A and B are shown apart, each in its own frame.
Chain A
Amino acid sequence: MSAPFFKYGLFGEETSLIVAFAIGIGFGFFLERAGFGSARKLVSQFYLDDLAVFKVMFTAIVTAMLGVTYLAWLGWLDLSLVYKTPTYWVAQLVGGLVLGAGFVVGGYCPGTSVAAAATGRLDGLSYLLGVGAGTLLFAGAFPAIKGLYYAGEMGVQTLPGVLHLPYGLVVFAVVLMAVGGFAGATWVEHRRAATHEEE
């Protein structure tokens, strides 16, 4: 038996919805437990006061990366069948800027706004309504912005492919980057805390 289970037909569409629901519950639970249901906590990363978002997200990336690497190494997961989002570098650059600006102004990203709304926060709820309205607006305006949507198409790109490096070496490099990033983030937090005390 090998993964991805859905692609190999081990379960169908309906079961995949149940699996998605269970994973969604877990995701929401840990977002909330990490304090990411609070816009204050989220936005403080932009002031470099609290880099928990960076640490949690990068930890999730590294954990998942090591997990799939070892599962593939053991032969339990066929990495070539795992869906990879194609790269549209112009569209993703513009989209990233829009999302980042929205994150700073609104205090949430889409996932955390759902977690915030679920705990009854009104700002989370209004953010979520904004997400819905924006989605409708996007769908309506799609014919006009279709060119931007597909701009900079590069197909599926992976770091080992782009850098022409062995897969395992890139994994190690990303882990080192993360650990270095955590140490750097902690140092920055301490520096900021000291500055605040001086003030």
Chain B
Amino acid sequence: MRLTLNQRLGLAAVALGALAVFADVDRGPVLAFHEKDLLATIQQEADHVAPSELAAWIIEGRRDYRLLDLRDEKAYGEYHVPTAESVPIEALRDAVLLPNEKVVLYSDGGIHAAQAWMLLRARGHRAAYTLRGGLDAWKEAVLFPAAPADPRAVAVATFFGGAPRGGASGPAPALQAPALPKVEAAPPPRAGAAPARRKKEGC
């Protein structure tokens, strides 16, 4: 019996369909949250680290956390919080993080850090935090605090290369005047290049 073209095409479709039973169709890396857990964490504000707290960790020389700068490498090169590693937000997917490693994320404001926090949480990384207020808050609270009465704040600002802003009263001026201190940290780690900074070993 000679098959017509239509019949042959139909048979080909059946064969392809039968083979498709074994198709492993990748649904893509779809992430999911536990909604109540996430909302509780947000409500308890257990997802933040205050700039003063981070400053204290750095001064104490604590090594039980990783600080990730989510801005682009140019911004990182201009200034970054000491001990921070450059992990631009688009590279977060490829960043190797140990499951229980404490990770503090920051960007200029808070939005990119919060978005990255959500991504890490959805990936099951529970020990993720954001720097409250981001780099803007870091500058305002640690580097250039407004006329601090507390000599400790002056010491902290000086430690990080900043200086208190003058004027004992009135609202804090827009933060652009003070020049950012030069951070003597290595440039962002690149593939192939030897790590210039101490390597975080995690736990």
A147: Cβ under 8 A from any B Cβ: no
Which residues of B sit under 8 angstroms from A166, Cβ to Cβ? 21
State whether A69 touches B28 (Cβ < 8 A). Answer: no
State whether B25 touches A73 (Cβ < 8 A). Answer: yes
**Taking the nearest CB of chain B, how far is it from the CB of A28, in angstroms?**
23
Which residues of A sit under 8 angstroms from B20, Cβ to Cβ? 66, 69-70, 73, 168, 171-172, 175
> Which of B6, B23, B30 is A168 in contact with, Cβ under 8 Å?
B23
19 A–B contacts, CB within 8 A, in A order: A66-B16, A66-B20, A70-B16, A72-B26, A73-B23, A73-B25, A78-B28, A79-B25, A79-B28, A168-B20, A171-B20, A171-B21, A171-B23, A172-B18, A174-B17, A175-B13, A176-B14, A179-B14, A182-B6
Instruction: Please classify how large the interface on chain A is, using the bins under 10, 10 to 19, 20 to 34, 35 or more.
Output: 20 to 34
**Contact mask for chain A residues 170-199; partner B; CB cutoff 8 A; 1 contact, 0 none:** 011011101100100000000000000000
Which residues of A sit under 8 angstroms from B199, Cβ to Cβ? none
- List the 10 shortest-distance A-B pairs measured between CB atoms, nearest first: A175-B17, A80-B28, A168-B21, A168-B23, A172-B17, A78-B28, A171-B20, A73-B23, A72-B25, A80-B27
Within 8 A of A (CB), among B1-52: 6, 10, 13-14, 16-18, 20-28, 30
State whether B26 touches A78 (Cβ < 8 A). Answer: yes
Residues of chain A at the chain B interface (Cβ within 8 Å): 62-63, 66, 69-70, 72-73, 75, 78-81, 166-169, 171-172, 174-176, 178-179, 182
In the complex, what distance in Å separates the CA atom of A80 from the CA atom of B20? 17
**Taking the nearest CB of chain B, how far is it from the CB of A179, in angstroms?**
5
State whether B21 touches A66 (Cβ < 8 A). Answer: no
Which residues of B sit under 8 angstroms from A178, Cβ to Cβ? 13
Given A66-B20, A69-B20: A168 and B25 interface contact (C-beta under 8 Å):
yes
In the complex, what distance in Å separates the CA atom of A78 from the CA atom of B18? 21
Closest residue of B by beta carbon distance from A173? B17
In the complex, what distance in Å separates the CA atom of A136 from the CA atom of B162? 63
State whether B17 touches A171 (Cβ < 8 A). Answer: yes
Which residues of A sit under 8 angstroms from B28, Cβ to Cβ? 78-81
Closest residue of B by beta carbon distance from A186? B6
Closest residue of B by beta carbon distance from A73? B23
State whether A167 touches B25 (Cβ < 8 A). Answer: yes
In the complex, what distance in Å separates the CA atom of A166 from the CA atom of B22? 9
Closest residue of B by beta carbon distance from A183? B10
Given A80-B28, A81-B28: A70 and B23 interface contact (C-beta under 8 Å):
yes
In the complex, what distance in Å separates the CA atom of A98 from the CA atom of B30? 37
In the complex, what distance in Å separates the CA atom of A72 from the CA atom of B26? 6
Which residues of A sit under 8 angstroms from B22, Cβ to Cβ? 168
Closest residue of B by beta carbon distance from A160? B25
